[in-house]
Amino acid sequence: MQKKTSLMACLALCGSLMLAACQQPVRTDSRADSSLIPASSLIRNAQTGAQLTPDALLQLLSQAPMVIVGEEHTNPAHHDIELWLLKNLQKQRPQGSVLLEMLASDQQTAVNQVKQAVQSGTVMREERIQMALRWIPGWPWPLYREVVLEALAGDYPLLVANINREKVSALYRAPVFPEGKRTTDKSVQDALTAVISLMHNGELSPEQLRGMLSIQQNRDRFMARQLMAAPRPALLIAGGYHASKDVGVPVHLADLNADKPVVLMLSTTGTNISHAQADYIWFVPAKK
């Protein structure tokens, strides 16, 4: 991250900040997409430490009304796993909806129009899809293309999960914070502030830190409300800190008296993630 960060870069940073077994038999048709599962990856139950197979995890997630997947935005292996989940959760039960942090609130109409066109059989080149979606360049299309195209083709709503740039600018200039006992807890806000500061080498002023914290928490609150309203079972894909049970969207869901989501954190081998942050962790080897 460069020292002089533009507001759009701040937007990208805030989004990228970290981060009963089913009685039915495990279906085996997910093996057709096994090439999407990173080699040497490892899945653990964060609560018990037990190791899980991809199919066992799939069965567990398929029983949850709300699933949040936390990613490292620049890790291609994480996007492969997300694509595998999109393809195979649908085989377990009908998918109610998919929500993406990469789509902002002012893009929903465009998303609906593109999805309708794709599902009607209209042939659209990728460049045209990006243009019609008003895809935000800060999210590298090569990393997200497969997930987005799969979600557009799916027989379920594709929903936005981010605030728009105008809202980001307003919050940066005049910070306000979502209400809620857990959301405003000092330990939650201090933890997020510390990460924002670390990512900027400790060079942000108190005013800048407050503005960016406001953006982060308002994003989390918007994601929480979108997830609550989304047809179930709902799947939200977002950055790791948005997904984290101790500081992200789950905190806001609790303040809104919503059901608890199941959190799957995608991470890198060797990263320390606790049961306070995730229910399941899928580790992939570090990029070479």
CATH T-level assignment (fold) for domain 39-284: Rossmann fold (3.40.50)
CA distance 284 to 287: 9
Per-residue pLDDT averaged across 242-256, rounded? 98
- CA–CA gap between residue 107 and residue 96 (Å, rounded): 20
pLDDT band at 185 (very low <50, low <70, confident <90, very high): very high
The one-letter amino acid code at 144 reads Y
| Confidence check: pLDDT of 50 > 50 | yes
**How large is the average pLDDT for residues 9-33?**
40
Cα–Cα nearest to 52, from 286, 262, 276, 288: 262
Confidence (pLDDT) at 287: 78
Is the pTM higher than 0.75? The answer reads yes
* Torsional sign, CA 206, 210, 215, 217: positive
Q: Is the pLDDT of residue 157 over 70?
A: yes
What percentage of the chain exceeds 70 in pLDDT?
Answer: 89
Helix (H) or strand (E) holding 104: strand 97-104
Confidence of residue 288 (pLDDT cuts 50, 70, 90): low
